Amino acid sequence: MLDVTAAVIINKNQEVFIAQRNKPQELAGKWEFSGGKIEENEVPKEGLNREIKEEFGVVIRIDRFMVESVYQYDFGKVRILAYLAEIDSGEIEVREHNDAKWVSVGELDNCDFVPADLKIVNKIKEELN
């Protein structure tokens, strides 16, 4: 099983930050909560901070663990540890995705998410509605 992290970044307007996967990746064109693989000898929160800094050039402040999602893809099983966070410093630069945007909780249902992130979407709607 592949262990990854995801950041559910919320801004002061209660909008959620989502990113669209890039072409060379599995599930290209679908939306996701960004994060990435946890490296050896790395705790999940450290890995999440590192990945968000690499992918968007911002530093996040992680508030708390939010939800775990396990999903079996054709290429293997993925376990996502999602954390509620906010941007602490920096300006977002889209470096490794096709696109990124802020959406309201109500708009989440209009976005085509990767299957593993649907449990995270449901948790957001449950907590923020």
Domain extent for 119 = 2-128
Q: Is the pLDDT of residue 128 over 90?
A: no
125 close to 101: Cβ distance less than 8 angstroms: no
Give me the helices (H) in the chain, please: 44-56, 118-128
What one-letter code names the amino acid at 27? Answer: L
Q: What is the CATH number of the domain that holds 106?
A: 3.90.79.10
Give the predicted TM-score (pTM) of the model. 0.94
| Per-residue model confidence as pLDDT tens digits over 55-90 | 999 999 999 999 999 999 988 999 999 999 999 999
Count structural domains, the chain: 1
Q: For the CA atoms of the chain, what is the radius of gyration?
A: 13
